[in-house]
């Protein structure tokens, strides 16, 4: 009995790590590749979650949809919607330098949260959207969890391969060059504004996908899920700890931070009742402390940005 | 090829370039000299599109390019280097060169997913060109180092290397000789002459190394206080009384 509980917990954790790894990969494109300080991850996460929820849930009174479309249509729609939202935001905000961009994106994420909370016709307001179908959700509990973990893992692998392909490709090289020295990249003929917008949209699409996976796993989405603490700052800590500019690092960071975050909940649950209210803040403190230590002693993260290396000798070695 | 007409650049009350006019002929190597603060680098920034002039016009290849962005000018064939090296510090030296060629197929996101074969073929070409350039600059041994870890002189060479990675028409070099050792400097001069003669590059150099200017440049333009003081061949400019006073100093004529 105990063992099954533990297995369940591990499955649950694995699914969340997968979802967060997608968010961290998205942020790595924006920050690690392009140097864009997006502090509004929660906003794109929410757009993705709600888009897929509306597209796939059964039709309900008093709100838009649902359209009962297959889940993969919803997930694709989530990416498209997040990308479409990112486009005007990027168009306006990417003109700001890094710290101002952070402030602007925090603001935008907050606007999205408030719109979701108050536009009942679109999102059913504070009650949120329920009855979102989960693929293989009809299976018995453990099997269903396992099947969902497999889907999340598959999505993550595909996303990782697609992002990793870009890193050393001319596109990624150009993005990293723009990140390192905007003026010189411009002098070398690169259209900095356009390219930044591309990276911003690409990253936002992955964040939207992460949101959709989250909504389908929970079978529901409410405005409370769009907590900037959990959906934005936790992702930042994951990327910085894992190693920004390194896709494997992003995934590793998501794994490490989520395990600590999740296990710390078990620990704080053991606290005497009078401390239980403070438990959330103890966990936040732990995560904050971890970030401080990483920034102080290993600012490049566990896995630093990789060097391109000599691909010619690698080729020779294969021959 | 390049015509500047009454260029003025104000920085909130401070006038760095003050009614500067001159023209550069195709195929020439023009030197831009003058004391510190004469406005040489600001002028480069104006020509290269990094700054927009307060007034005046810039014509490049017969076309008014005033106010055009530097990436647009790059595609018209105008490439520049920076006085203070602007390397891409987390990219390797090789990558610093490989990013330069315009319109690489792999600069499109989707090309890297959908036609990786074509991207790889183009990459192989670009990589070879980058290795050749590094070899010429004697930087092969640091090809896979982060550019930010290179020495000041090596960064300077990398700057020059970037201009060799594309088919430029006009190249602006901001103090290419500063911090570069003498033997390499001679090679550099040679390379500039080769690029000029065989590939038809036109050059404008900001330089303080009189030896290099004498060997390479005609005409020489001396700037002072944001305007052209005198333009002519090296001997004329060097022996001009105003240049001696403003820049070279009384005895420099004999030393050089």
Please report the pLDDT score of residue A269 as a whole number: 78
Q: For residue A4, is it within any domain?
A: no
A7 shares contact with chain B (CB less than 8 Å): no
Residue A317: is its pLDDT beyond 60? no
Task: List strands edge to edge, sheet with B63-64.
Answer: B14-24, B2-11, B55-60, B63-64
Decide if A186 and B80 are in contact by the 8 Å CB cutoff: no
Condensed to tens digits (0 to 9), the pLDDT of residues A98-136 reads: 778 889 999 999 999 999 999 888 888 888 898 899 998
CB neighbour list of residue A23: distance below 8 Å, 6 or more residues apart: A41, A45, A206, A207, A210, A231, A235, A238, A254
Q: Which residue has the tokens 């550069």?
A: B24
pLDDT band of A265, cuts 50, 70, 90: confident
User: B70, B78, B149: best mutation site toward chain A, by most A Cβ within 10 Å?
Assistant: B70
Q: Which of A55-64, A159-168, A218-227, B22-31 has the lowest mean pLDDT?
A: A55-64
Please report the pLDDT score of residue B254 as a whole number: 47
Give CA angle at B56 (B51, B62), nearest 5°: 90
The whole-angstrom distance between A310's CA and the closest CA on chain B is 7
Residue A141: is its pLDDT beyond 70? yes
Please report the pLDDT score of residue A47 as a whole number: 96
Nearest 5°: phi and psi at B21? -135, 130
Beta-carbon count within 10 A of B52 CB: 12
Q: For residue A135, is it within any domain?
A: yes
A198 shares contact with chain B (CB less than 8 Å): yes
Decide if B82 and A202 are in contact by the 8 Å CB cutoff: no
CB B165 within 8 A of CB B73: no
DSSP B92: B
Condensed to tens digits (0 to 9), the pLDDT of residues B109-120 reads: 999 999 999 999
Question: Which residues of B fall within a CB distance of 8 Å from A179?
Answer: 90
CB A250 within 8 A of CB A25: yes
The encoded tokens of residue A310 equal 């000599």
Q: For residue A139, is it within any domain?
A: yes
Please report the pLDDT score of residue A138 as a whole number: 87
Beta-carbon count within 10 A of A102 CB: 17
Rounded Cα distance between B197 and A107, Å, is 57
Nearest 5°: phi and psi at B79? -125, 145
Q: For residue A3, is it within any domain?
A: no
Compare CB distances from B92 to A188, A191, A308 and report the shortest one's residue: A308
The encoded tokens of residue A91 equal 């168009």
Q: For residue A8, is it within any domain?
A: no
Condensed to tens digits (0 to 9), the pLDDT of residues A77-104 reads: 999 999 999 999 999 888 877 778 889 9
Averaged over B114-141, what is the pLDDT? 93
Rounded Cα distance between A240 and A301, Å, is 6
DSSP H helix total and E strand total for chain B: 11, 10
SS3 A50: helix
Q: For residue A167, is it within any domain?
A: yes
H-run or E-run covering B203? strand B202-206
Averaged over B57-82, what is the pLDDT? 93
Averaged over A67-76, what is the pLDDT? 93
A315 shares contact with chain B (CB less than 8 Å): no
Condensed to tens digits (0 to 9), the pLDDT of residues B216-241 reads: 998 899 998 888 988 888 888 888 88
Residue B138: is its pLDDT beyond 60? yes
Residue B250: is its pLDDT beyond 60? no
Residue A52: is its pLDDT beyond 50? yes
Averaged confidence pLDDT in chain B? 90
Rounded Cα distance between B83 and B155, Å, is 11
Q: For residue A55, is it within any domain?
A: yes
Beta strand pairing status for B227-232 and B29-33? unpaired
Give the burial class of B214: count Cβ atoms within 10 A of its Cβ; 0-12 exposed, 13-18 middle, 19 or more buried. Answer: middle
The encoded tokens of residue A249 equal 């690092």
Decide if A307 and B112 are in contact by the 8 Å CB cutoff: no
Decide if A170 and B74 are in contact by the 8 Å CB cutoff: no
Residue A311: is its pLDDT beyond 80? no
CB A141 within 8 A of CB A155: no
Averaged confidence pLDDT in chain A? 90
- Look up the CATH number of the domain holding residue A185: 1.10.3470
Rounded Cα distance between A16 and A78, Å, is 18
Decide if A192 and B105 are in contact by the 8 Å CB cutoff: no
Rounded Cα distance between B212 and B189, Å, is 7
Compare CB distances from B88 to A176, A198, A202 and report the shortest one's residue: A176
B80 shares contact with chain A (CB less than 8 Å): yes
A304 shares contact with chain B (CB less than 8 Å): no
pLDDT band of A308, cuts 50, 70, 90: confident
Q: Answer yes or no: pTM beyond 0.95.
A: no
Residue B249: is its pLDDT beyond 80? no
Decide if A310 and B144 are in contact by the 8 Å CB cutoff: yes
SS3 A4: helix
B92 shares contact with chain A (CB less than 8 Å): yes
Question: Which residues of B fall within a CB distance of 8 Å from A245?
Answer: 90
Domain holding A112, by residue range, is: 18-318
Rounded Cα distance between B192 and B214, Å, is 14
Averaged over A197-201, what is the pLDDT? 96
Closest Cα in chain A to B141: A310
Condensed to tens digits (0 to 9), the pLDDT of residues A5-23 reads: 888 899 999 999 999 999 9
Q: Please name every residue paired with B223 in a beta bridge, in sequence order, or none if there are none.
A: B228
Question: Which residues of B fall within a CB distance of 8 Å from A162?
Answer: 113
Decide if A180 and B123 are in contact by the 8 Å CB cutoff: no
pLDDT band of A316, cuts 50, 70, 90: very low
pLDDT band of A318, cuts 50, 70, 90: very low
pLDDT band of B251, cuts 50, 70, 90: low
Nearest 5°: phi and psi at B231? -130, 135
Give chain A's domain count. Answer: 1
Residue A314: is its pLDDT beyond 60? no
Q: Which residue has the tokens 């183009």?
A: B122
Residue A278: is its pLDDT beyond 80? no
Condensed to tens digits (0 to 9), the pLDDT of residues B190-208 reads: 888 988 998 889 999 999 8
- The DSSP code sequence of A211-260 is HHHHHHHHT-B-GGG--HIIIIIHHHHHHHHH-TT-HHHHHHHHHHHHHH
Please report the pLDDT score of residue B63 as a whole number: 92
Q: For residue A246, is it within any domain?
A: yes
């Amino acid at each position: 009995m105990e063992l099954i509980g533990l297995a369940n917990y591990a499955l649950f954790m694995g699914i969340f790590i997968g979802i967060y790894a997608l968010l961290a990969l998205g942020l790595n494109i924006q920050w690690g590749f392009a140097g864009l300080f997006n502090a509004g991850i929660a906003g794109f996460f929410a757009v993705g979650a709600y888009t897929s929820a509306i597209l796939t849930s059964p039709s309900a009174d008093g709100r838009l949809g649902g359209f009962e479309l297959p889940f993969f249509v919803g997930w694709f729609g989530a990416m498209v919607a997040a990308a479409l939202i990112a486009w005007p935001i990027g168009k306006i905000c990417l003109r700001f330098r890094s710290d101002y961009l952070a402030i602007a994106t925090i603001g935008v994420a907050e606007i999205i949260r408030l719109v979701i909370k108050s536009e009942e016709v679109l999102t059913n307001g504070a009650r949120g959207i329920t009855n979102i179908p989960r693929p293989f959700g009809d299976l018995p509990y453990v099997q269903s969890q396992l099947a969902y973990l497999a889907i999340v893992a598959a999505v993550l692998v595909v996303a990782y391969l697609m992002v990793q392909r870009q890193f050393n490709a001319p596109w990624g090289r150009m993005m990293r060059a723009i990140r390192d020295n905007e003026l010189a990249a411009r002098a070398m003929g690169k259209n900095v504004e356009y390219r930044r917008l591309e990276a911003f949209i690409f990253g936002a699409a992955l964040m939207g996908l992460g949101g959709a996976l989250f909504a389908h796993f929970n079978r529901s989405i409410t405005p409370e899920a769009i907590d900037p603490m959990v959906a934005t700052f936790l992702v930042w800590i994951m990327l910085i700890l894992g190693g920004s500019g390194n896709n494997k690092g992003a995934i590793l960071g998501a794994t490490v931070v989520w395990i600590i975050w999740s296990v710390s909940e078990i620990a704080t649950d053991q606290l005497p009742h009078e401390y239980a209210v403070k438990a959330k803040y103890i966990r936040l403190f732990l995560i904050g402390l971890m970030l401080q230590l990483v920034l102080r002693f290993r600012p490049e993260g566990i896995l630093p940005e990789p060097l391109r290396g000599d691909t010619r000798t690698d080729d020779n070695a294969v021959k | 090829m390049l015509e500047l007409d009454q260029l003025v650049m104000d920085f909130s009350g401070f006038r760095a370039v003050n009614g500067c006019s001159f023209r550069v002929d195709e195929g020439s190597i023009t030197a831009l000299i003058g004391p510190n603060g004469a406005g040489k680098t600001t002028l480069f920034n104006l020509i290269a599109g990094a700054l927009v002039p307060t007034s005046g016009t810039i014509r490049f290849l017969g076309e008014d390019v005033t106010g055009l962005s530097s990436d647009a000018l790059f595609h018209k064939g105008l490439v520049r280097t920076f006085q203070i090296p602007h390397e891409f510090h987390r990219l390797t030296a090789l990558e610093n060169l490989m990013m330069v060629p315009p319109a690489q197929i792999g600069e499109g996101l989707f090309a890297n997913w959908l036609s990786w074969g074509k991207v790889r073929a183009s990459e192989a070409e670009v990589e070879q060109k980058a290795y050749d350039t590094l070899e010429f600059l004697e930087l092969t041994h640091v090809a896979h180092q982060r550019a930010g870890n290179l020495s000041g002189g090596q960064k300077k060479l990398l700057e020059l290397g970037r201009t060799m990675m594309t088919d430029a028409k006009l190249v602006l070099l901001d103090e290419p000789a500063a911090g570069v050792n003498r033997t390499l400097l001679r090679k550099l001069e040679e390379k500039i002459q080769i690029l000029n003669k065989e590939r038809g590059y036109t050059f404008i150099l900001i330089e303080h190394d009189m030896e290099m200017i004498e060997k390479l440049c005609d005409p020489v333009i001396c700037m002072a206080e944001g305007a052209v003081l005198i333009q002519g061949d090296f001997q004329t400019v060097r022996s001009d009384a105003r240049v001696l006073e403003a820049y070279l100093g009384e005895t420099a004529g004999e030393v050089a």
